[in-house]
A = this chain, B = another copy of it.
């Protein structure tokens, strides 16, 4: 089962990779961070680690890369200067919207191979699996 999941994840991820890589020179980790900030609003790196199940070093590096691209900004929180609130810049938000649109297109195309019920069930099962 892990093997099947990896195969499926690999095949689908690779076909979508071009969207963020070719257009914006982003890595997968960067796209994931951008996605979480766009989808759920400003948060700290730590929170991204938790939500996206990414290791903090990966997040740290992705944040720096996105910052250099001017896609996000950090703001040290005044009440606890260890925390840095991360938020998308207008440019970052624009990129996010563009890529989300692309992702939806991609997902629709992918799911065209399956019936609506199959797609829904698949999604539900994967969510349960990912939460184990």
Residue A123 is within 8 A (CB to CB) of chain B in the complex: yes
Whether the Cβ atoms of B114 and A128 lie closer than 8 Å is: yes
A80-132 contacts to B, CB under 8 A, are: 106-107, 110-111, 113-114, 118, 121-123, 125-130, 132
Cα distance, A93 to B120, chains bound together (Å): 40
Between A and B, 16 residue pairs with Cβ closer than 8 Å are A1-B106, A1-B123, A2-B106, A3-B32, A4-B126, A4-B127, A4-B130, A7-B126, A8-B130, A11-B53, A113-B129, A113-B132, A114-B125, A121-B125, A122-B122, A122-B125
Residues of A within 8 A of B (CB): 1-13, 15-16, 32, 35, 53, 106-107, 110-111, 113-114, 118, 121-123, 125-130, 132
- A7-B126, A11-B53 known; 12 new pairs, CB 8 Å cut-off, are A1-B107, A2-B12, A2-B16, A4-B126, A5-B126, A7-B53, A10-B53, A12-B129, A15-B132, A113-B132, A118-B121, A121-B121
Question: Which residues in B have their C-beta under 8 angstroms from that of A128?
Answer: 113-114
By a CB distance below 8 angstroms, the chain B residues around A130 are 4, 7-8, 11
